[in-house]
């Protein structure tokens, strides 16, 4: 049976981005994944080539395809241009950031981790409403930031988390907040969760619990197996998903999906790592797992399963791993081994 071609935008990204994207494309080609790629630029590459970290051509491409695979984009700290990742999420209203964490390599400190962070993606403190107040001769004497959570935004991400948990057979959704102190900004999130849980009848389908974010961070270190799905606001979700990635071997193992009503962008959670760019040291596993999520999204679950199985076998049967996982394989060597696994499956 012929599989219909699927238009998709490809953004190689900055730093190690082109290397891990090339590795991922090689494996997707071996899988015969039917993506028709439209390659575009963003981040530092966009600034260098088009004078814009998020060029119009890139935005137009995603509007057309409604689907993208993205390498990491460089964002300057403390100045320079605003994060292209945040701008993409806002532009396409990618309100749900899905970050699964699954143990792939046994024998580490934490075994059998299998949980998901569902992060609200376009509200909270990441809206970027910031300014400085000058005092005396110091133009940056006071820095101020305003976070905004709306009832609609809270409801949308909470409903997504509950529906995701039910659809995937998860048992519990934990609502992470700081409503004891941030009574308005995260109080509205907790209040909406309680109301929605009853209103939608989720209480008969999945368990709900509540936890303050600092206690959640501690308990994730002490006993992560008590959690299943964590749903939280933007900043808390960003921090906790990195913590959770540490339980499974680091950000090199952490994929992410940005989901909206009209578009979806898939990426590795980690950054552009410019210090190792061009050295073939980067671990492409996170982006490969993001590609598997992308295959699931377009209903090619058989190919997603084959990809995940090939990753597992390459890591644990062939014992071919990149340096961050204690191995000696280059990015390209790891990809070559994966391609062999896919073709011989």
**Catalytic residue numbers, as ranges:** 126, 178, 214, 238
First to last CA, the chain: 19
Instruction: Report yes or no: 7 and 63 within 8 Å, Cβ to Cβ.
Output: no
Residue 290 tokens read as: 């993001």
What distances in angstroms separate CA 82 from CA 34, 52, 179, 259, one per listed residue?
A: 34, 11, 29, 21
Eight-state DSSP code of residue 327: -
Neighbours of 210 (CB within 10 A): 14
Residue 332 tokens read as: 């390209």
Instruction: Report yes or no: 16 and 277 within 8 Å, Cβ to Cβ.
Output: yes
Neighbours of 166 (CB within 10 A): 14
Please name which of 12, 8, 9 lies closest in space to residue 284, comparing C-alpha atoms: 12
Quick one: angle between helices 301-316 and 17-30, nearest 10? 110
Please name which of 320, 335, 288 lies closest in space to residue 307, comparing C-alpha atoms: 288
User: In angstroms, how far is CA 120 from the centroid of its own chain?
Assistant: 11
Please name which of 69, 14, 80 lies closest in space to residue 44, comparing C-alpha atoms: 14
Residue 271 tokens read as: 């950054």
Rg (CA), the chain: 20
Torsion of CA 155, 158, 164, 167, to 10 degrees: -70
Identify the sign of the CA torsion 235, 240, 243, 249: negative
Q: How many CA atoms lie within 13 A of 116 on its CB side?
A: 21
Distance CA 71, CA 9 (A): 11
């Amino acid at each position: 049976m012929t599989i219909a071609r699927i238009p998709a935008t490809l953004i190689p990204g900055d730093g190690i981005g082109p290397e891990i994207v090339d590795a991922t494309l090689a494996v997707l080609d071996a899988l015969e994944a039917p993506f028709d790629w439209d390659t575009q630029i963003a981040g530092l590459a966009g600034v260098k080539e088009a004078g814009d970290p998020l060029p119009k051509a890139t935005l137009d491409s995603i509007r057309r395809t409604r689907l993208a695979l993205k390498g990491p984009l460089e964002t300057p700290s403390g100045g320079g241009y605003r994060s292209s990742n945040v701008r993409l999420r806002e532009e396409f209203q990618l309100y749900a950031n899905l970050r699964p964490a699954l143990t792939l390599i046994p024998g580490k400190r934490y075994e059998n981790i299998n949980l998901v962070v569902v992060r609200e993606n376009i509200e909270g403190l990441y809206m970027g409403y910031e300014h400085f107040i000058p005092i005396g001769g110091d133009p940056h004497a006071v820095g101020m930031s305003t976070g905004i959570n709306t009832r609609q935004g809270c409801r949308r991400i909470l409903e997504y988390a509950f529906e995701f948990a039910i659809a995937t057979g998860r048992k519990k959704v934990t609502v992470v907040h700081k409503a004891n102190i941030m009574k308005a900004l995260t109080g509205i999130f907790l209040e909406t969760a309680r109301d929605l849980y009853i209103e939608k009848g989720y209480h008969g389908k999945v368990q709900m619990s509540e936890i303050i974010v600092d206690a959640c961070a501690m308990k994730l270190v002490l006993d992560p197996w008590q959690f299943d799905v964590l749903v939280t606001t933007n900043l808390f979700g960003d921090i906790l998903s990195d913590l959770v990635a540490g339980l499974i071997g680091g950000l090199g193992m952490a994929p992410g999906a940005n989901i909206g009503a009209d578009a979806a962008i898939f990426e590795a959670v980690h950054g552009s790592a410019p210090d190792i760019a061009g050295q073939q040291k980067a671990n492409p596993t996170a982006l490969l797992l993001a590609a598997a999520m992308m295959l699931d999204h377009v209903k090619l679950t058989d190919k997603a399963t084959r990809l995940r199985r090939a990753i597992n076998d390459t890591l644990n049967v062939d014992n071919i791993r990149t340096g961050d996982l204690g191995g000696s394989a280059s990015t390209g060597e790891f990809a070559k081994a994966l391609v062999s696994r896919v073709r011989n499956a």
